[in-house]
Amino acid sequence: MEFAATLQDGLRRDPLTATTMAIIVIICLVAIFGPFVASHDPLATNPSIALKPPTWEHPCGTDQVGRDICTRIVYATRLDLFIALSAVGLGLIIGGLIGSLAGFFGGIVDRLAMWIVDTIMAFPLFVLAMGIVAALGNSLENIIYATAIVNVPFYARTMRAEMKQRREMGFVEAARVSGNGPFRILAVHLVPTAVPQLMIQATLTMGWAMLNAAALSFIGLGIRPPTPEWGIMVAEGASFIITGEWWVALFPGMTLVLVVLSLNLVGDGLRDVLDARERR
């Protein structure tokens, strides 16, 4: 509750973070309810209106087979948010587990965990994700697994640092003396204290996870056309850029940038708020 109060206080002083948070809420609402109010079918083709620039009827124009781009963006928002949320969630669970065990127990556990983390980090991460999807097979789940794996190092490191810093503190000793086992101390007393830091890390990496997943489908991995997804839509529009049909790639691309930018700004804002609290 104390965190919520500082957050509220911080947001009042930081209108940019508050605005971007509002944008994220709107985007989430679009992802959830958008498909119910969208006026067109995202897959319905109509060759007679192919590649038409934006009009009132089609605010973002139509693509090469006459589908309404605006509707497709709305449906894509749902899919892209789903991918990013599940990848980050899965990554948080795995990374949090590795990091907390490593930071709390130290020694050989720590060295093994850090070896895993360093090995993942030794790859350019998008390339590793590419290799994983190529090896596991081209599917939505595998995009999520690959994106989760390349995010694990960030959560594991954050969690490890938090655990290391706190494991010698008085409240841990107190819990130990009153007869709690190490796993209980970790799960009940230590891990919850790291939640704010982990949440900030999650917000900061969520945007990156989105870029990563969109880039994977941009190069033709994972989700396949005609499924509406931002990366695929930009890829489909790429060939029309040099002939001047800019709207096919621009609108889905701008949506992706807007969402990622908002997430990054919120992540930065939250970090500043938390840093300020710790300094006080």
Shortest spacing between CB 262 and other proteins, in angstroms: 8
Residue 53 or 131: the one with the smaller Cβ distance to other proteins is: 131
Q: How far is the CB of 204 from other proteins (least distance, A)?
A: 10
Residue number, 11 or 256, with CB nearest to other proteins: 256
Q: Which window, 31-39, 73-81, 189-197, 206-214, contacts other proteins (CB under 8 A)?
A: 206-214
Structure tokens at 187: 């799960």
Among 118, 141, 173, 275, binds other proteins (CB under 8 A): 118
Please tell me the distance from the alpha carbon of residue 49 to that of residue 27, in angstroms, as a whole number: 28
Q: Tell me the C-alpha to C-alpha distance, in Å, between residue 164 and each of 103, 106, 108, 114, 154.
A: 5, 8, 15, 13, 16
E-assigned strand segments in 146-268: none
Write the binding mask 9 to 48 for other proteins: x where contact by CB under 8 A, - elsewhere: ----------------------------------------
Q: Which of 211, 232, 273, 274 binds other proteins (CB under 8 A)?
A: 211
Interface with other proteins includes 260 (CB under 8 A)?
yes
As a whole number of angstroms, the distance between CA 260 and CA 247 comes to 20
**215: contact with other proteins by CB under 8 A:** yes
Q: Which element (helix H / strand E) includes 201?
A: helix 195-218
Sign of the CA dihedral 108, 110, 116, 118? negative
Could you say whether residue 214 binds other proteins (CB under 8 A)? yes
- CB neighbourhood size of 118 (10 A): 10
* Number of residues in contact with other proteins under rule CB under 8 A: 48
- Give me the phi and psi of 62, to 5 degrees please: -125, 160
CB of 238 to other proteins, least distance (A): 6
Phi, psi of 65 (to 5 degrees): -115, 20
Task: By CB under 8 A, tell whether 264 contacts other proteins.
Answer: yes
Among 76, 71, 45, CA closest to 60: 71
CB contact at 8 A, 249 and 241: yes
Among 181, 225, 183, 205, residue whose Cα is nearest residue 45: 225
By CB under 8 A, tell whether 177 contacts other proteins.
Answer: no
Q: Give yes or no for residue 109 binding other proteins (CB under 8 A).
A: no
- Using CB under 8 A, pick the residue from 8, 32, 219, 224 that binds other proteins: 219
Selected from 15, 53, 124, 225, the binder of other proteins by CB under 8 A is: 124
Would you give the DSSP letter of residue 42?
T
Among 159, 234, 270, 273, binds other proteins (CB under 8 A): 234
Residues that bind other proteins (CB under 8 A): 115-116, 118-120, 122-128, 130-132, 134-137, 207, 211, 214-215, 218-221, 231, 234-235, 237-238, 241-244, 246, 249-250, 253, 256-257, 260-261, 263-265, 268
